[in-house]
Amino acid sequence: MTAMSFHDETLAEGAKVAHFCSMCGPKFCSMKITEDVRKYAEEHGYGTAEEAVKRGMDAMSAEFLAAKKTVSGEQHGEIGGEIYLPESYVKSSER
């Protein structure tokens, strides 16, 4: 099955006059990939997309907690999360 034929197969009848989707390529169809991912998730017990996202977020949270990381700590180091202001602004606010 070509990406074009799958694309046409998945469109509603009124949309079949639309141009071939720009997200697709000659050997893949983003709609087919989405369908395959949904099928895989269903077959492997991931449930709904929302449930899969929650499971993924829970897993990443556990990983971050185990490593004692935070997003800001990882990105900025220990003191990098502070706000840096120009010296002139700081001095003017101290008056």
pLDDT tens-digit map of 30-84 = 777 888 888 888 888 888 878 888 888 899 888 878 776 655 555 555 555 556 6
| 57 and 79, same domain (yes or no) | yes
- Phi first, then psi: what are they for 78, rounded to 5°? -70, -40
| 16 and 61, same domain (yes or no) | no
| 74 and 91, same domain (yes or no) | yes
Any long-range contacts for 62-67 (C-beta under 8 Å, 24+ apart)?
none
Residue pair 68/74 in contact (Cβ under 8 Å)? The answer is: no
What pLDDT is attached to residue 58?
Answer: 92
CA 3 to the chain's CA centroid: 23
Q: How many domains is the chain partitioned into structurally?
A: 2
**What's the pTM value of the predicted model, to 2 decimals?**
0.39
Better pLDDT: 42 or 92? 42
Residue pair 56/41 in contact (Cβ under 8 Å)? The answer is: no
What pLDDT is attached to residue 60?
Answer: 87
| 52 and 40, same domain (yes or no) | no
Better pLDDT: 35 or 1? 35
| 84 and 63, same domain (yes or no) | yes
Res. 18: pLDDT tops 60: no
